[in-house]
Amino acid sequence: MNARELALALLNDWQKSHQLADDLLKIALDGSTLQGSDRAFVTELFYGCLRQKLTLEFLVAQLANVPPQPIVANILQLGLYQLFYLKTPAHAAVNETVALAKTQAHTSEAKFVNAILRRAEREHDALQARLDATRESAPWIYYSHPQWLWERWVARLGRESAAALCKWNNQPPPTFIRINTLKTSIKPADIDAEPTTHPLCWRVVNMSGLFQGKSFTSGEFYVQDPSTLAAVDVLDPQPGESVLDMCAAPGGKATYLAQKMQNRGRIIAADLSSSRLALVGENCRRLGVTIVATLACEGTHLDRCLRGEQFDRVLVDAPCSNTGVLRRRADLRWRIEESEIRKLATLQEKLLTAAVPFTKPQGILVYSTCSLEEEENQRVVERFGRSHPEFALETTQSIFPPRDGMDGAFVARFRKTKAA
């Protein structure tokens, strides 16, 4: 397949399955012979069409009297994304997309695609003006986010901040690396990267060969957004201590815990998924971490496996709606539903409560999510504090992407000041 054919296949697969876009793309690229710029073009087309899904559907609706069949709609969206967002030369965007339609759809449908895209080329400015008008009349279309999510954010953040967050989510995310101080004290020489506000975190400038170089195989860095370091920094584990990471996979925080502990002490990395725990082990081996032991067990049932054990510090990095990382998870905005947020808050509170018996007196308990929603963050912390007065809330931290320049996150630190 060429790049456009592969991008179309990915859009079709995503539409028909419940698989994550990241997983589909990795499988597709691993099985492809495409190289360099073609791989980057597939990624841009696939993720771009997912991010701009609502605006592209709006454009199709302006141009077609009858909604096209799914595969034809996806072909049109690929063409329109190139015309309106990539600024691909019009003749190339139209001709290549029509050529794609001729191999992937019926003759009549290919003619339909040709007619629609040539009209879009002719009426580009008028269509752009109609799309721009939705910024006031239907801003969720303009910013390509679910209406319920836009309205929820406007109600809590205000229109200006909600718009800034949506614009942030519609940009391709940068890649960051965390320097592994168990192996090196400086940025690896074979990585083209620039410093960030976090002393261990660098923004990758050139992705070429990132995972093929000596520094990767020797474990000198781990790919990780700076926002995910906050929970471990707030937990502040010390060398020689015991730490429980209750929702550990794939191991970014567990390996950073070990790094901060100078690989001295004991870390139990628990997770429900054995396959994801295998990633924890794999990452530990590459990074030279030797103090992490994995445990396949769901967080609310850890008492069955760790009966009577207590730890100096406990981290509950809870499953959440992921609304703070929608920039990084291109398709997630179309997968989550508002009702899930309440269900997740219930699970988060159960996990936090399950951590209570594992926390030593005077021990530290940290709760974190990559959600921006108050129900999953402040409200969970408030309810936990009321029901567990033996825990004193010491600090909270909220990371808001447009303001802080990184993925969204929430962190709360408790100290167990007395026996229950």
Q: Mean pLDDT score of the chain, rounded to an integer?
A: 95
Q: Are 255 and 281 in contact (CB under 8 A)?
A: no
Residue 292, strand partner residues = 267
Lowest mean pLDDT among 13-17, 269-273, 403-407: 269-273
Amino acid letter, 160 = E
Please, which pLDDT band fits residue 420 given cuts at 50, 70 and 90? low
396 has which bridge partners?
A: 412
Mean pLDDT for the stretch of residues 23-30:
95
pTM value is: 0.94
The single residue of 49, 284, 297, 370 carrying the catalytic annotation is 370
β-partners of residue 204 are 193
Span 174-201, average pLDDT: 95
Choose the weakest-confidence range: 49-53, 85-89, 250-254, 388-392: 85-89
Quickly list H helices, 181-337.
Answer: 214-217, 230-235, 252-260, 274-287, 332-335
SS3 state at 188: coil
Model confidence pLDDT, tens digit, residues 286-328: 999 999 999 999 899 998 889 889 999 999 999 999 999 999 9
pLDDT at 236 over 90: yes
Hey, is 377 helix, strand or coil?
coil
CATH 3.40.50.150 location in the chain: 226-416
**The CATH classification of domain 226-416, taken from the options 3.40.980.10, 3.30.470.20, 3.40.50.150, 3.40.50.460:** 3.40.50.150
What is the predicted pLDDT for the residue at 275?
85
Q: Is 166 among the catalytic positions? A: no
Question: What whole-number distance in Å separates Cα of residue 385 and Cα of residue 383?
Answer: 5
Q: Which regions of the chain carry the CATH code 1.10.940.10?
A: 3-139
Q: What angle do CA 150, 151, 154 make, to 5 degrees?
A: 85
Correct CATH for 3-139 of 3.30.70.20, 3.40.630.10, 1.10.940.10, 1.10.10.970: 1.10.940.10
Q: What is the mean pLDDT of residues 164-192?
A: 96
Helix axes 90-104, 70-81, angle to 10 degrees: 160
Across the range 171-190, mean pLDDT stands at 95
Q: What was the pLDDT predicted at 271?
A: 93
